[in-house]
Amino acid sequence: MFTFLKNYFLDLFDLFYPNICLACSQKLLKGEEIICFRCESELPQTGNWLEADSGLVKRFWGRVPLQGAATLYHFHKGNEVQHLLHQLKYKGRQEIGEHLGKLFGNQLIQANSIIKDVDLIVPVPLHWKRLKVRGYNQCDFFARGLSLAMNVPWSSTALERTHENISQTKKKRYDRWGNVADIFSVCDAEQLKDKHILLVDDVVTTGSTSEACLQTILKTPGTKASFVAIASAR
């Protein structure tokens, strides 16, 4: 009787406050969480974690030495991935980050990717001013999801962002390197020392911000680095 009543009230609650898929906005069915099964199978996965020299890895060639680099989805204007990232970043839906982190972490382990052999997961930090306005760093939740799936610790206290870098988008690609190179600094080298660090970001476009962050990490003795993001723009 109790179970019956519980289900009755849950169904009633669902009628007024339906859980919707945060990618396609359709109502979630029983057993679905955050993203519906259809979206989970149809969102455009890159599969680039299966290639040693993917286009993404090549984006970093000659710029920063990496063990591996991978992104879960392709990102383009107007697609469901952009919708997901927008909600994660600006609408307070942090659970998207953790969900995708778990999903991607499991993929990396199953694929026996080099990226699974990491010692510490580090999200790209937000500048404190940005953090104060938004209230959270969207990359922290992605890092936590990866950490849970991969059984590797994560830390948001090893690095800090010292500059906001607002003017960056107005500059030409070449100028950006100089502009971003010193926007991060290490605040706890002991956490990084002699480790394979997995840097995580939400979306990668030119790769210049993640490159700057990776270069900062690699200044610490004995470190190696890999990089993952939820999505990459082609």
Q: Which residues bind Zn ion (CB under 5 A)?
A: 21, 23-24, 36, 39
Q: How far is the CB of 26 from Zn ion (least distance, A)?
A: 5
Question: Considering beta carbons, is residue 27 or 58 the nearer one to Zn ion?
Answer: 27
Q: How far is the CB of 35 from Zn ion (least distance, A)?
A: 6
> Cα(171)–Cα(195) distance, rounded to whole angstroms?
34
Q: How far is the CB of 106 from Zn ion (least distance, A)?
A: 19
184 backbone dihedrals φ, ψ, rounded to 5° = -120, 155
Question: Considering beta carbons, is residue 80 or 140 the nearer one to Zn ion?
Answer: 80
Question: Considering beta carbons, is residue 87 or 162 the nearer one to Zn ion?
Answer: 87
Handedness of CA 26, 28, 34, 39 (dihedral sign): negative
Question: Considering beta carbons, is residue 91 or 219 the nearer one to Zn ion?
Answer: 91
Sequence-distant (6+) residues with CB within 8 A of 115 are 49, 67, 68, 70, 108, 198, 226, 228
Q: How far is the CB of 87 from Zn ion (least distance, A)?
A: 12
Closest-CA residue to 123 (of 159, 172, 176, 77): 159
